[in-house]
Amino acid sequence: MKNKPLIFTLISILCIIEPIIKILYFKAITHFDFMVIMTNLVAKNSFRDVFDFWLVYPLSGILLFKLRKWTYFAFMSLLAYIVFNIMTYEKYTWPYNSDSPFLYHYVVVVMTVMVFMAFLLPGVWEPFFDRRVRWWEPKVRYPVGINCSLKNESIIFSSEIINISLSGAFLKGSSYFKVGDKLDLEFNFLGKDISLPVTVIHKHSLHGRHGYGVQFSFKSFKQNVVVARIINVLKQSTKSA
């Protein structure tokens, strides 16, 4: 599966269009022209009023489009704020101007709370904290066949980079590897000696070759740039081939 879970996309869309739903509701119950409705809406210009009407739901939806650690906590914070506003709503006040929030908002909140409960399960919140399990964000891997060496404080051994991507590489198997090891990967690329910290994350076979997948554990922005340049060179050479 290469697509983000449907529930994430559905909730994102429902949240992003929420201000439009409120405007359509006002139109249905008042029969005013949209110009009159918009004039009344923009009259509310305090930060809290603008945030509650126009921003809080769309921001929540946008946060679900990009699953990262910071979006996890930001989404949870906005969800708590939304639930609090629903629970403490006073009749005929902003932003609903009715005796209670609209049915649409109860549906969206119930769905988001269900997601919140699901987030308590490691299998669901893991994509926010481990990019390796975001199956909808595949990284292009380039076959290379580069000789390399790996070392830690006590040992150094040779291997081969079978393929490489922005996030990691697949290395030829060796009895010195084991999952969880933290090593320094050293190799030469276009005449430049390169050293990158890696973590061994899994063992598998690729096209009949046994090896280990390693993830780059960048310790500096410069190391990110080095790998990005390597990938760019490989990408350009693939296009010209």
pLDDT digits (tens, 9 = 90+) for 85-130: 999 999 989 888 888 899 999 999 998 888 777 666 655 555 566 5
The secondary element (H helix, E strand) that includes residue 235 is helix 221-240
DSSP state of 96: T
Lookup: tokens for 48: 């809290």
Residue 2 has pLDDT above 50, yes or no: no
For residue 129, the tally of other CB atoms under 10 A from its CB is 12
User: In this structure, what are the phi and psi dihedrals at residue 31, rounded to the nearest 5 degrees?
Assistant: 60, 20
Confidence of residue 241 (pLDDT cuts 50, 70, 90): low
Q: Is 60 exposed, middle or buried (0-12, 13-18, 19+ CB in 10 A)?
A: buried
Q: Work out the angle at residue 14's Cα, subtended by the Cα atoms of residues 108 and 26, and round it to the nearest 5 degrees.
A: 85
Q: If we measure between CA atoms, which residue out of 176, 219, 182 comes closest to residue 200?
A: 182
Q: What is the pTM of this model?
A: 0.53
What per-residue confidence (pLDDT) applies to 120?
63
What pLDDT, on the 0 to 100 scale, is given for residue 135?
47
How far from chain centre, in Å, is Cα 197? 23
How many whole angstroms separate alpha carbon 21 and alpha carbon 105?
10
**% pLDDT > 90, the chain:** 50
Going by the DSSP 8-state scheme, the letter that residue 219 receives in this structure is -
Long-range interactions of 46-53: CB distance < 8 A, separation 24+:
49/94, 49/95, 52/85, 52/94, 52/95, 53/19, 53/22, 53/94, 53/95
The pLDDT tens digits for 9-47 are 888 999 999 999 999 999 998 888 999 989 989 888 899
